[in-house]
Amino acid sequence: MASILQTLTGSFSANDPAPAQTGAVFPNVRLRRLRRTPAMRALVRETHLHPSQFILPLFVRPGVGIRQSVSSMPGCAQTSVDECVRDAQAAAAAGVGGVILFGIPEHKDAIGSGASDEHGPVAEAVRAIKEAVPSLLVITDVCMCEYTDHGHCGVLHGDEVDNDATLALLAREAVMHADAGADIIAPSDMMDGRVGAIRAALDAAGHAQIPIMSYAAKYSSAFYGPFREAAESTPAFGDRRSYQMDPANSDEALREVAQDIAEGADIVMVKPAGAYLDIIRRVKDVTGMPVAAYQVSGEYAMLHAASERGWIDLERAMLESLVAIRRAGADIILTYFATTAARALMASR
Ligand code: PBG
């Protein structure tokens, strides 16, 4: 039976009687009435994009005055710390809520020693950005793949990524980031137990107040292609299917998310975003946690490539893709469009 409210409003879901039985049908109901003018559409809009909930990914490398563009990601670059601060300032000026930093170290080795180098590009960038723009949230990606010479997200035992041996290294990296002044720690490695290990290490180091945003449901995705050029983190052999999730799975995403929450995650992330909107919705509905979604490099590259060919309008497609991610249930969006989208939203006000 339809409720009185449903009858009055004419709203119904798949399980309710057909709209005809609620009495609210054409010609009494004309859904186009509320679509006639921009003001009318704005009045009934259900989902809004807020630049304060965008996070801009940045790639930091050693050196000074370096801005090396990433060919598959127009508008994105690997930069030295000084240039990275400029990008952070521009993002903050546009109202973007935060940045997430990825490091490209001077040297790579089998155990990814550079990951916990307190004078590495990430640590230096954290300090420089916090000094230049204190109000901008600085998040650090915690993983080994940019730092290992084999490009995997953990240390190897034979040809396999050794889960438990990797945990201590991730924890050390996270503590180093927090010591440098990071506001939020974001582990993206997909080792089991890493949120708990990082939480314990942060607490022991006096960083009990630093939140963890875990890449909780991170899929083994072809859409990460351009990022691996940007972060120089392509695996030297094999792939990441033994630690990242199978794109065919949805129930498993809820188990991953539940594990991370049990271990102390404060924000849970779904990644990629566009092809995983169903996962975002399930995670939001089931957990009620702050949910982040990562619109990844391949999603960004595809929109740019199609617009370069004149096949789609970049600005419209960008804003539509972002609002779809919000509508699916994400509170926070990590996107290479962050500054551009924030400016577009400002201009449209
Ligand atoms: C590191 C990491 C990756 C991304 C974010 N963190 C790459 C990967 O897992 O291969 C992908 C981001 C993107 O494609 O934009 N583990």
Distance 125 CA to ligand 1 centre (A): 19
In a domain, 172, yes or no: yes
DSSP codes of every residue in 215-273: EEEEB--GGGHHHHHHTT---SSS-STTTSBPTT-SHHHHHHHHHHHHTT-SEEEEESS
Ligand 1 nearest atom to the CA of residue 153, by list position: 16
CATH number of the domain to which 206 belongs: 3.20.20.70
Task: Read off the pTM.
Answer: 0.94
Distance 329 CA to ligand 1 centre (A): 21
Residue minimizing CA distance to atom 5 of ligand 1: 188
303 vs 298: CA distance, rounded Å: 9
Question: Does the annotation mark 130 as catalytic?
Answer: no
Per-residue pLDDT of the chain (349 residues; tens, 9 = 90+): 344 445 445 554 555 555 555 679 999 999 999 999 999 999 999 999 999 999 999 999 999 999 999 999 999 999 999 999 999 999 999 999 999 999 999 999 999 999 999 999 999 999 999 999 999 999 999 999 999 999 999 999 999 999 999 999 999 999 999 999 999 999 999 999 999 999 999 999 999 999 999 999 999 999 999 999 899 999 999 999 999 999 999 999 999 999 999 999 999 999 999 999 999 999 999 999 999 999 999 999 999 999 999 999 999 999 999 999 999 999 999 999 999 999 999 998 7
Domain span at residue 27? 2-33
How many CB atoms within 10 Å of residue 288? 8
Residue pair 163/109 in contact by the 8 Å Cβ criterion: no
Distance 84 CA to ligand 1 centre (A): 19
In a domain, 154, yes or no: yes
Distance 101 CA to ligand 1 centre (A): 12
Residue that is written with structure tokens 């973007």 in the block:
96
Question: Does the annotation mark 284 as catalytic?
Answer: no
Q: Residue 67: beta bridge partners?
A: 79
In a domain, 163, yes or no: yes
Residue that is written with structure tokens 């490091």 in the block:
103
Same domain? For 19 and 58 the reply is no
Any residues with Cβ below 6 Å from ligand 1, and which? 141, 143, 145, 153, 188, 224, 227-228, 240, 296-297
Residue minimizing CA distance to atom 7 of ligand 1: 224
Residue pair 168/162 in contact by the 8 Å Cβ criterion: no
Same domain? For 103 and 77 the reply is yes
Number of folded domains in the chain?
2
In a domain, 70, yes or no: yes
Residue minimizing CA distance to atom 2 of ligand 1: 188
In a domain, 39, yes or no: no
